[in-house]
């Protein structure tokens, strides 16, 4: 990211990478954190921020997560320009809107489910013994682990998933005390959740 550090001196904004799966864009007193990851040699920038902050009186404060179209039309090309200036291929991944969102299908999530199973196994959690299922969430581009029997397992399971998917910034935890798969449910996704059940709590 040394190239980005040099480039930002030319502009009234900055682009930084504070860690795996995260890119931070600052403009004036506003800060946006975007998911970013590499796929087939291309950097994929997710076109909706997972976090927003605003700076007032020497402190940063969380800001509502609405991201209007004019802001995206200004910010995303700037970030892509910075990255491409360093010789990197960049693709912006936008979320489908309206009815098309409900029809989203991401076949690669089946591979991600296999990776999640391996991550949980390595962390000491096995299917049936500690949880009942791993379900795909195509609308939110994520996974949902259901039927977790012990509350003490929730945080370690979530930590294992975060290590495997650092660009999936949205996490949710809830308790289902009835139904086919009673127990705790952990969900992790790349897009802000819109398909989760009522009563879920955003852990970000």
Per-residue pLDDT tens digits for 103-157: 678 899 999 999 999 999 999 999 989 999 999 999 999 999 999 999 999 999 9
- How much is the CA Rg of the chain, to the nearest whole Å? 18
CB count in 10 Å sphere of residue 55: 14
The pLDDT score that the predictor gives to residue 199 is 39
Largest interatomic CA distance in the chain: 57
DSSP-derived letter for residue 136 is: E
Average pLDDT over every residue of 27-46: 93
Q: Which of 19-23, 53-57, 73-77, 123-127 has the lowest mean pLDDT?
A: 53-57
Average pLDDT over every residue of 68-92: 92
> Residue 24, Cα to own-chain centre: how many angstroms?
13
Q: In the numeric block, which tokens belong to residue 91? A: 């693709």
Cα–Cα dist 87/49, whole Å: 24
Check the CA dihedral 187-192-198-200 and report its sign: positive
Q: Which of 40-54, 63-77, 115-129 has the lowest mean pLDDT?
A: 63-77
Check the CA dihedral 60-62-68-69 and report its sign: positive
Q: In the numeric block, which tokens belong to residue 149? A: 């029997």
**What pTM was estimated for this model as a whole?**
0.81
Q: Which one has a higher pLDDT value, 100 or 119? A: 119
pLDDT bracket for residue 49 (50, 70, 90) = very high
Cα–Cα dist 162/116, whole Å: 10
pLDDT above 70 covers a percentage of the chain that reads 85
Cα–Cα dist 129/120, whole Å: 12
Q: Which of 66-70, 131-135, 171-175 has the lowest mean pLDDT?
A: 66-70
Q: Which one has a higher pLDDT value, 4 or 90? A: 90
Mean pLDDT of the chain: 85
Q: Which of 38-47, 50-59, 60-69, 166-175 has the lowest mean pLDDT?
A: 60-69
């Amino acid at each position: 990211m040394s190239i980005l550090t040099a480039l930002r001196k030319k502009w009234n904004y900055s682009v930084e990478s504070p860690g795996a799966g995260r890119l931070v864009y600052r403009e004036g007193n506003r800060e946006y954190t975007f998911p970013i990851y590499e796929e087939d040699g291309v950097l994929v920038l997710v076109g909706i921020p997972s976090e927003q902050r605003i700076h007032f009186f020497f402190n940063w404060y969380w800001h509502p997560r609405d991201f209007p179209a004019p802001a995206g039309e200004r910010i995303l090309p700037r970030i892509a320009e910075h990255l491409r200036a360093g010789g990197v291929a960049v693709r912006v991944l936008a979320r489908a809107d309206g009815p098309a969102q409900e029809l989203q299908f991401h076949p690669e999530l089946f591979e991600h489910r296999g990776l999640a199973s391996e991550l949980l196994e390595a962390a000491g959690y096995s299917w049936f013994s500690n949880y009942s299922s791993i379900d795909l969430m195509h609308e939110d581009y994520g996974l949902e682990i259901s039927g977790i029997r012990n509350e003490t397992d929730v945080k370690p399971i979530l930590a294992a998933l975060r290590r495997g998917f650092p660009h999936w910034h949205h996490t949710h935890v809830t308790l289902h005390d009835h139904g086919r798969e009673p127990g705790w449910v952990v969900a992790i996704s790349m897009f802000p959740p819109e398909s989760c059940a009522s009563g879920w709590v955003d852990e970000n």
